[in-house]
Amino acid sequence: MMIRSIAATAALVILHAAPALASPAIGEKAPPVKVETWFNGSPSAVPGDGVKGHRVFLVEFWATWCGPCIQNIPHIAKLQEKYREGGLIVLGISNEDEETVAPFVKKMKKMTYHVGIDDEMATTNKYMDDIGGIPHAYLVDKGGTVVWSGHPANPQLESTIKAVLAGKFDLEAAKNKATRKKKLESLMEDFNEAYREQDKDEMFKLLDKMMVVVPEEMKPYMMKRHFLGEFDMEDQIPALEKKMESALRDSLEGMGAIVEMELGRPPPERDAERLWRCAMRAEKLAEGEDPGVLAMVARVQCELGMIDIAIKTQARAVELSDGEEVHEKALAYYKTAKTLARRSQSTASDGNASR
């Protein structure tokens, strides 16, 4: 998992609003998946083949030239490995030619799930016609209905997979959320117009409306925070941040964003208690099983002087990530930091004793 801070990119988000949600929408039937060539074996079933009630599908669109796609391959593979027994089938769909994809799949040892070359864009055109970029994934339930759509690194994907496989997914709630996101996009368009005209009152009015429509989305809060600073209204930021933390309490991505926001501030401006609360809440929401979240928690623990606990947390992140280099290096850093701290304490003790 990757936790991303959006505080520094608020203005960019405003000027480039997200595209409209693509078809198929949440609650709609998944289009058929048509593939010309499969690598890593042919799947036992695909969406639209008439085989119902047996499998849940994760259909991801990717390309060999796409850096974020490549970065997500280990994560996608782990989802397949973790939930295969429960009935999950992962399908990675590329619209590139076989001469490009074949050597890439052969070289990419961690790409253990089914990889398919689109059949003359038949699948891509149905799923990705108005999606702005890749990687992008769809989760399709046993009845062939799309229940989730988004970036495969989003932690909501795994929680949705768990709920769908357990028969506990609330489709109506998901459809309601998708509807509210469409309303958010409409408000964002209005906001862009107010921003271009520098209509401050209308801008803040629209931001407050966004928070009512999608209280669980962090973007409106971060945008408002940005513009409170831009319009010299910093005195209102503490109350907004308190409201934001409460509203995003059940959002793993939101808790992570607040942690990154606090860590990005100079120490005199940080709220150590909020930093700790949000890090612990993120760990709880991830059920202690996400290496990215654990790495974030370990960093917070180190920042707050809990070096021994940070080492244990980071070691768990290494274990869950199968020794990914970035987590190994972080663990080595914390161990070195502990050694240096002990050495410094020993030197200080020796100095005091000689006085």
> What is the domain extent for residue 126?
31-169
- With 0-12 / 13-18 / 19 or more C-beta atoms within 10 angstroms meaning exposed / middle / buried, residue 192 is middle
Domain-embedded: residue 199? no
Domain-embedded: residue 74? yes
What share of the chain in percent tops pLDDT 70?
Answer: 90
Domain-embedded: residue 335? yes
Same-domain status, 154 and 48: yes
Output the six-digit token pair for 307: 């070096």
| Domain termination residue (choose one: 137, 169, 201) | 169
- pLDDT (tens digit per residue) in 143-195: 999 999 999 988 789 889 999 999 999 999 999 988 998 899 999 999 999 99
Contact 278, 255 (CB under 8 A): yes
**Cα(170)–Cα(42) distance, rounded to whole angstroms?**
31
Q: Is the pLDDT of residue 77 over 90?
A: yes
Domain-embedded: residue 235? no
Domain-embedded: residue 119? yes
Instruction: State the total domains in the chain.
Output: 2
321 band by pLDDT with thresholds 50, 70 and 90:
confident
Distance of CA 104 to the CA centre of its chain: 25
| Domain termination residue (choose one: 145, 169, 193) | 169
50 dihedral zone (left: phi>0; alpha: psi -120 to 50; beta):
left
Angle, helices 291-303/272-285, rounded to nearest 10 degrees: 160
Please state the rounded mean pLDDT for residues 248-275. Answer: 92
**Concatenated DSSP letters for 197-212?**
TT-HHHHHHHHHHHHH
State the DSSP code for 113: S
| Domain termination residue (choose one: 169, 185, 214) | 169
Instruction: Indicate which CATH number applies to the domain containing 75.
Output: 3.40.30.10
Instruction: Indicate which CATH number applies to the domain containing 318.
Output: 1.25.40.10
Domain-embedded: residue 51? yes
278 band by pLDDT with thresholds 50, 70 and 90:
very high
List the strands of the sheet with 35-39, edge to edge: 35-39, 114-118, 88-94, 56-61, 136-140, 146-150
pTM of the model: 0.68
- pLDDT (tens digit per residue) in 22-51: 478 899 999 999 999 999 999 989 998 776
Query: Which contacts qualify for 156-162: CB closer than 8 Å, 24 or more apart?
Result: 156/252, 156/253, 157/58, 157/79, 158/79, 158/290, 161/56, 161/58, 161/79, 161/83, 161/88, 162/83
Q: Is the pLDDT of residue 300 over 50?
A: yes
Domain-embedded: residue 77? yes
Same-domain status, 162 and 257: no
262 band by pLDDT with thresholds 50, 70 and 90:
very high
* Range in 206-210, 279-283, 290-294, 311-315 the model is least confident about: 290-294
What share of the chain in percent tops pLDDT 90?
Answer: 71
What is the pLDDT, as a whole number, of residue 15? Answer: 35
Domain-embedded: residue 324? yes
Output the six-digit token pair for 138: 């769809």
Same-domain status, 44 and 163: yes
Count of residues making up the chain: 355
Mean pLDDT, the chain, rounded, equals 88
- Strand ranges (DSSP E) for 105-220? 114-118, 136-140, 146-150
129 band by pLDDT with thresholds 50, 70 and 90:
confident
**Cα(262)–Cα(272) distance, rounded to whole angstroms?**
8
Same-domain status, 163 and 259: no
Please state the rounded mean pLDDT for residues 87-101. Answer: 95
Query: CA dist 38 to 75, 114, 115, 136, 337, Å?
Result: 20, 7, 6, 19, 48
Same-domain status, 266 and 146: no
